[in-house]
Structure 1
Amino acid sequence: MALFQKEAHKKMVIAMNRLHGQSNSGEGGEDEERFHVLPNGDSKCSAIKQVASGRFGVTSEYLCSAREIQIKMAQGAKPGEGGHLPGGKVYPWIAKTRHSTPGVGLISPPPHHDIYSIEDLAQLIYDLKNANRDSRISVKLVSEAGVGTIAAGVAKAGAGVILISGHDGGTGAAPRSSVYNAGLPWELGLAEAHQTLIMNNLRSRVVLETDGKLMTGRDLAIATLLGAEEYGFATAPLVTMGCVMMRVCNLDTCPVGVATQNPILRKRFTGKPEYVENFMRFIAQELREYMAQLGFRTIQEMVGRVDLLKVKDKKAENIDLTRILHVKNTNVCFDSKNMYDFKLNLTKDCTILENQLLDALKKRQSQEIDVQVSNIDRSFGTLFGSDITRRYGNSLEEDFFKVNCYGSGGQSFGAFIPKGLNLSLHGDSNDYFGKGLSGGKLVVVPPEGSVIKAEDNIIIGNVALYGATSGEAYINGIAGERFAVRNSGAIAVVEGVGDHGLEYMTGGIVVVLGKTGRNFAAGMSGGIAYIYDPDKTFYSHVNKELIEFTNVSQRYDEEQIKKWVDKHYQHTKSAIAKKILDNFDVEVKLFKKVIPHDYKKMMNLISSFEQQGLSKEQAKVEAFNTFKKGV
């Protein structure tokens, strides 16, 4: 999304929707205005919504607008690496889509912080299926040695589509070290994945897709014979839109206005949706001709028929391709009868929340209910939250539906819940609490009658609020490691966090009323944190590379601390919050403020332009232009 300018991407999307194909949003999110159909019937909404490690713009609305949700584990151009978008390319409209700050650089973590095993991947697939029960869930893997074994795990985890991405495609903005150390050709990974899935009786459960500079109908014919049913294109459609392969995408200097956000260069863009439509029709026609020559009427008949491929005698006489052209059990392909069953109808969202709240939801009537939960109730609230999003977006009032939960929350409790839904948990919660929070409210307090000292005990697991974009969370106890990783807009109050808190955070406010663990604020490029530090030990825990931390001295900061600590007390009756509020003028001096350098400069610039009479949006544009010049 950030790589290609809006007009180029929009026209590509329109073309694919006209053809009943699918375009991919990429990892940068998508502007909310694209979710609505144009007056002429065209749609600018990408059918495939990507969920990558940065979780940029991954909101409930974003996920509900998808026909397919793709988890990007890797890409052929730079396997195993994250991404970095320099501040000079984070234009105001890019920042809006990514829920970040104009002019401030963005970092995508190398790994997904909620995926360290196939079981973790299965949990994310389950989360996303709850966030949009009508969508396919796909997983993007890179072509590499051993990808077949990974593909088998992905199929068992419940994915509906597995994409094998080759080394020859990918982004033109990748650094040189990545381009020269990329993955393998798609042919190798595709053949291995197809054969391994067959050996494990998993091939009929998933659709197999491939990409990586597919250019002709012949490429598609070979891909099909090696095991693919679907295909991804990027380079060729871009060329039809005017790309001249200058390979300067990373410099923001594209001479034909395709891969740039520079307003002057963008005027040179002349692409039209019809160009992409024509190209795709020609590709389809060429594939039909190859199919006719081979005697096939459908793609399904053709999948995996490697017996119809042969090695060119002279050009490949010294190459052993027998493992690629393995012919045992040919023509095994996806069968919809064997799709993974998530059993969503058995979840508490269906059996309790929808049963008790559906009438109120339809009539837009506020309601409060009580529910018993246990740690097997994964992604609790997510499916009902998607029902709210489909009907009302983020337009409901705060706490419109309140669910009082009693017991232990399972993994991903409250993931992606939208504004209007309040989940108050009396007990504790597992990992991934509040993942992708999208405007909802989460409260966790120890169960009634508990004798533990809340502020000294862990009450929620690791990687809470990962990728949160908005909403509030009040946690009466300590959180595990990597709290609020990639938070870009949520407000959270917690009474202590483990190691690596607030990694890669780009927005929002986090108030920590306790210890922070090691490596706090690593990669943090936006947002503000207030740390209660009566023991004066915080200095040794913070990662100082991108941030500054100071004593709280400004009136604004004192007001923010009091506001959120007071709300924390109102929701949780926290003992430590009460102690701070009862002697606030003294206790507030014990707080430290953490703020990233560039974020602070940009917010000051925006504020100064607003004081000159500019609107907030105009101020952001002027601040970005000023900041980019190095002023």
Structure 2
Amino acid sequence: MKLVSEIGVGTVAAGVAKAKADHVTIAGFEGGTGASPLTSIKHAGSPWEIGLAETQQTLVLNGLRSRIAVQVDGGLRTGRDVLVGALLGADEFGFATAPLIAVGCIMMRKCHLNTCPVGIATQDPVLRKLFSGAPEHVINYFFFMAEEVREYMAALGFTKLEELIGRSEILDKSEAIDHWKARGLDFSRIFHKPQVGPEVSLSNTERQDHELEEVLDRKFIELSKDALENRKPVKLDLPIKNIDRTAGAMLSGEVATRYGHKGLSEDTIWITLRGSAGQSFGAWLAHGVTLDLIGEGNDYVGKGLSGGRIIVRPPEEAKIVPEESIIVGNTVLYGAITGECYFHGVAGERFGVRNSGALAVVEGTGDHGCEYMTGGVVVVLGGTGRNFAAGMSGGVAYVLDEAGDFEQRCNMAMVDLEPIPAEEQFNAQDQHQINDMESHGLVDLTDMTKDDEKRLRQLIQNHLHYTGSKRARQILENWGEYLPKFIKVMPVEYRRALEEMAEAQAAEDTGLAELEVGMPDAK
């Protein structure tokens, strides 16, 4: 769990520890990706020293420190930073900017624009040739830093870093506190060391029992043996609670162990679940597994989705209006690579972040939708939050813009907005195929620069089929009215790459590529 260094972070860290997290990271305000707005880098959060000190003191006073590892990051550069972090209570230390500088980063802060001048944060083949870094540069950096840490430890009389963790009384702070610039400031709370007995640990010293033998996936695996061993279809109907986290992950591991990434045949294992799912519902779900949740999901639904299908819909007796109600939490489809998701309701923030190949239909999103997306298709049948498509370099999104203000909510740095034209080739045969769900509602992804109407309608039809969405039915029944209100979000560089690939393929198919070899340039 990563927490921003700010006032009250210790209380949050204590809650995280009580929830049996093994690891918590305190992130200081000095770090941050080069894609972050400068205002966020300069003004959001507080120094890591303040957040780390509060976290350490709170965990120690509540007897929770031994069960959780505390990491700190946010502008760490030198061995001295590591020593100070350890003395304030950190077990581990995160580095990002400094190692990047070691391999040639010049901090142009344009990582999200695909124009990195030193070839690090770019997919442009011309710019990538400018990369001059090497693994040895990072190795040398960490060797020198470790050597500096050893020198400081020797000067203090310690041989193991573990002996320094939480020993804030060792910090030599008198010179800084007595400095005239520090007059009137009270640092006692930062350097305070809780007075506890010898039985209370100041660092992470024990492993927690997560009771993995009792998790819901064990039941999934046991009841799906026929499918796992003999590939025979299995249908289950079970309850789920919000303490059941990463439901489907261990089952998917069993599928992958036996059949690899290819998985099982479509819908071999269909599990209907009723209730409120815990975090990371359907994480890494394998091909051939369908999770049909009648209830609601938490954060990180479909994290790392790997070919499975996730359906989340409210109970029929629910009094809510689905298209106006949250059905899944934040950061849905984080890092998904393939598969399908259908959400009969609204998602939270960062929907589809880092999605690289999954298909998803949702009826509204919060802020930062499709952030850093590199592939796949997302359909939004409702409103979005601000900063949609920030850092989106691949894939396609279709957004229903009934209010006409989507352009103001979209981050236009890397994408173009296009209307979806009615296609004359979208004939009766295509319509018949869409209505035929026995074809499993297959979506054509061969050329993302065309066939938008066909693709969009197929996905909405799938959404109606799996969720019974009244919103989807209304759109399909009034297709001519709603189609002009959809906007296609297309990354500029993605379109260029697809067009270049299509031209190269066409030249290869016609033999023109071979004919051009050796021909003089036209003057």
TM surpasses 0.5: yes
| Distance in 1 of aligned mates of 2:272 and 2:4 | 41
Q: Write the deviation string for residues 478-532 of structure 1: whole angstroms up to 9, x where unpaired.
A: 42455993274443467xx3575994375645668xxx5555897256524486x
State whether structure 2 residue 169 is matched by structure 1 residue 307.
yes
Q: How does 1:194-593 map to 2 (within 5 A)?
A: 194-243=56-105, 245=106, 247=108, 249=110, 257-258=119-120, 261=123, 263-313=125-175, 316-318=178-180, 319=182, 320-329=186-195, 332-337=201-206, 339=208, 341-350=209-218, 352-358=219-225, 360-361=227-228, 363=229, 365-376=231-242, 377-389=244-256, 392-399=259-266, 401-405=268-272, 407-408=274-275, 410-411=277-278, 413-424=281-292, 427-431=294-298, 434-436=301-303, 437-443=305-311, 461-463=327-329, 466-467=332-333, 469=336, 470-474=338-342, 478-482=344-348, 485-486=351-352, 488=355, 489-492=357-360, 497=363, 503-504=369-370, 508-509=376-377, 516=381, 518-519=383-384, 523-524=388-389, 527-529=396-398, 539-540=402-403, 543-545=406-408, 546=410, 547-549=417-419, 552-554=422-424, 555=426, 556-557=451-452, 559-560=454-455, 563-564=458-459, 567=462, 588-592=479-483
Equivalent residue letter for 1:305: R
| Distance in 2 of aligned mates of 1:334 and 1:142 | 20
CA change 1:529–1:237 in 2 (3 A) is: closer
| Distance in 2 of aligned mates of 1:277 and 1:312 | 35
| Distance in 1 of aligned mates of 2:462 and 2:66 | 52
> SS state of the match for residue 190, structure 2?
coil
Is 1:558–1:588's contact at 8 Å kept on the other side of the alignment? no
Aligned to 1:188: 50
Is 1:464–1:483's contact at 8 Å kept on the other side of the alignment? yes
Q: Write the deviation string for residues 194-238 of structure 1: whole angstroms up to 9, x where unpaired.
A: 112212222112112223343333332222222112122234433
CA change 1:611–1:314 in 2 (3 A) is: closer
Q: In the TM superposition, what is the alpha-carbon distance from 1:440 to its structure 2 partner?
A: 0.8
CA change 1:508–1:552 in 2 (3 A) is: farther
| Distance in 1 of aligned mates of 2:497 and 2:487 | 15
- TM-score by length of structure 2 reads 0.69
CA change 1:220–1:359 in 2 (3 A) is: farther
Equivalent residue letter for 1:527: V
CA change 1:406–1:308 in 2 (3 A) is: closer
Equivalent residue letter for 2:5: S
Equivalent residue letter for 1:223: G
Q: In the TM superposition, what is the alpha-carbon distance from 1:577 to its structure 2 partner?
A: 8.1
Aligned to 2:505: 613
Aligned to 2:23: 161
> SS state of the match for residue 310, structure 2?
strand
CA change 1:589–1:347 in 2 (3 A) is: same
Is 1:385–1:417's contact at 8 Å kept on the other side of the alignment? yes
Is 1:399–1:441's contact at 8 Å kept on the other side of the alignment? no
| Distance in 2 of aligned mates of 1:328 and 1:428 | 44
Q: Write the deviation string for residues 567-617 of structure 1: whole angstroms up to 9, x where unpaired.
A: 56765788998999xxx8x8543442523354489548735751563599x
Q: In the TM superposition, what is the alpha-carbon distance from 1:262 to its structure 2 partner?
A: 5.0
Q: Write the deviation string for residues 416-460 of structure 1: whole angstroms up to 9, x where unpaired.
A: 4122212345x444455943343212346888xx78999989998
Q: In the TM superposition, what is the alpha-carbon distance from 1:278 to its structure 2 partner?
A: 3.2
Is 1:551–1:589's contact at 8 Å kept on the other side of the alignment? no
Is 1:249–1:260's contact at 8 Å kept on the other side of the alignment? no
Unaligned runs of 5+ in 1: 1-138, 532-537, 617-631
Alignment RMSD (CA, Å): 4.5
Q: Which has the higher contact order (CA 8 A, sep 6+)?
A: 1
Equivalent residue letter for 2:483: K
Q: In the TM superposition, what is the alpha-carbon distance from 1:326 to its structure 2 partner?
A: 1.7
State whether structure 2 residue 18 is matched by structure 1 residue 151.
no
> SS state of the match for residue 141, structure 1?
strand
Aligned to 1:7: none
> SS state of the match for residue 144, structure 1?
coil
Q: In the TM superposition, what is the alpha-carbon distance from 1:271 to its structure 2 partner?
A: 3.0
- TM-score by length of structure 1 reads 0.59
Equivalent residue letter for 1:439: G
Q: Which moved more, 1:458-467 or 1:206-215?
A: 458-467
State whether structure 2 residue 488 is matched by structure 1 residue 596.
yes
Q: How does 1:54-93 map to 2 (within 5 A)?
A: none
| Distance in 2 of aligned mates of 1:382 and 1:256 | 39
Is 2:166–2:203's contact at 8 Å kept on the other side of the alignment? no
For the pair shown, the structure with the greater C-alpha radius of gyration is 2
| Distance in 1 of aligned mates of 2:70 and 2:97 | 20
CA change 1:614–1:324 in 2 (3 A) is: farther
| Distance in 2 of aligned mates of 1:390 and 1:373 | 26
Q: Percent identity?
A: 34
Equivalent residue letter for 2:249: T
Q: Write the deviation string for residues 11-30 of structure 1: whole angstroms up to 9, x where unpaired.
A: xxxxxxxxxxxxxxxxxxxx
Q: In the TM superposition, what is the alpha-carbon distance from 1:549 to its structure 2 partner?
A: 4.8
Is 2:153–2:159's contact at 8 Å kept on the other side of the alignment? yes
| Distance in 2 of aligned mates of 1:502 and 1:247 | 23
Q: Which moved more, 1:309-318 or 1:213-222?
A: 309-318
| Distance in 2 of aligned mates of 1:600 and 1:607 | 11
Q: In the TM superposition, what is the alpha-carbon distance from 1:181 to its structure 2 partner?
A: 2.4
| Distance in 2 of aligned mates of 1:598 and 1:286 | 49
Is 1:375–1:430's contact at 8 Å kept on the other side of the alignment? no
Aligned to 1:28: none
Is 1:209–1:230's contact at 8 Å kept on the other side of the alignment? yes
Equivalent residue letter for 1:384: L
> SS state of the match for residue 472, structure 1?
strand
> SS state of the match for residue 383, structure 1?
helix
Q: In the TM superposition, what is the alpha-carbon distance from 1:345 to its structure 2 partner?
A: 2.0
| Distance in 2 of aligned mates of 1:559 and 1:311 | 68
